[in-house]
Amino acid sequence: MPFLKGAKVSQLAAAMEIARRVSLPDGRKAIQIKGTKEAVEYLRNRLRGLAEEHFRVLYLNRRNRLLEDALRPFIILDVIIAPQKIFYPPFVI
């Protein structure tokens, strides 16, 4: 916006980020993802409004409950890489 400068731009960006986070579902509830439609909806809400591309991995247990939503380091998707680099153990036991 050409008429906003400096601190006002930062305040507006912070307000928009707070609004995005408030609109996310409550993380304390057990989230169950049974299929691709639920995964798309879950990720659509999380990634909406972000300026850059993110590579996320959803770890589910046997009952399709979300264990972790992990943000992985940026990976160039045009290059073939070993799955071990993507699915590095999410938990240290």
- Measured CA to CA, the distance from residue 34 to residue 47 in angstroms comes to 20
Q: Residue 65 gets which letter from DSSP?
A: B
What is residue 83's predicted lDDT score, i.e. its pLDDT?
67
For residues 17 and 46, is the Cβ–Cβ distance under 8 A? no
What is residue 76's predicted lDDT score, i.e. its pLDDT?
62
For residues 90 and 70, is the Cβ–Cβ distance under 8 A? yes
Q: Count H helices and E strands in the chain, helices first.
A: 3, 2
Q: What is the mean pLDDT of each run of 10 residues along the chain (93 residues)?
A: 73 78 64 91 84 82 86 66 64 49
Tell me the chain's radius of gyration from C-alpha atoms: 17
